[in-house]
Structure 1
Amino acid sequence: MRYHAAHREQAFVGNHEIGNLKQPHRDQVLRLRRTNERGLRTVIERGYAEGEVTVA
């Protein structure tokens, strides 16, 4: 998240261009993305359950 916040344009281009990657690189990137999203979701859900995070 810090990278995406600090480098918004690069992150946008990187996300936008995933479809242009060749296999197996595309699948590797998509697996990493899913892993990161699950981790972030877990942190947010845990913070919400503990009253530390407010979800709008």
Structure 2
Amino acid sequence: MLGWAITFLVVALIAALLGFGGIAGASAGIAQILFVVFLILFVIAMVARAVRGQPPV
């Protein structure tokens, strides 16, 4: 998931450099959403691991 967020971020940066405002905005929005989803899933995984008694790595 983090890979997809980085991919959309790169697409947004390239589109912004080339002047494609609509594509850059859409890609940046998708990258932000995917990054937030990744962070939420990461926190849930860490909490689940702590609840099971395994220390975080």
When the two structures are superposed, what TM-score results if normalisation uses the length of structure 1?
A: 0.59
CA root-mean-square deviation: 3.1
Deviation at 1:54, TM superposition (A): 3.1
Alignment match, 2:17 = 20
Report which of the two structures shows the higher radius of gyration computed on alpha carbons. 2
Structure 2: give runs of 5+ residues left out of the alignment: none
Structure 1: give runs of 5+ residues left out of the alignment: 5-10
Secondary structure of the residue that 1:51 maps to in structure 2? helix
- The list of structure 1 runs, each at least 4 consecutive aligned residues, that deviate by more than 2 angstroms after superposition, is 52-55
CA contact (8 A) 2:12 2:28 kept: no
When the two structures are superposed, what TM-score results if normalisation uses the length of structure 2?
A: 0.58
Secondary structure of the residue that 2:49 maps to in structure 1? coil
- Identity of aligned pairs, percent? 7
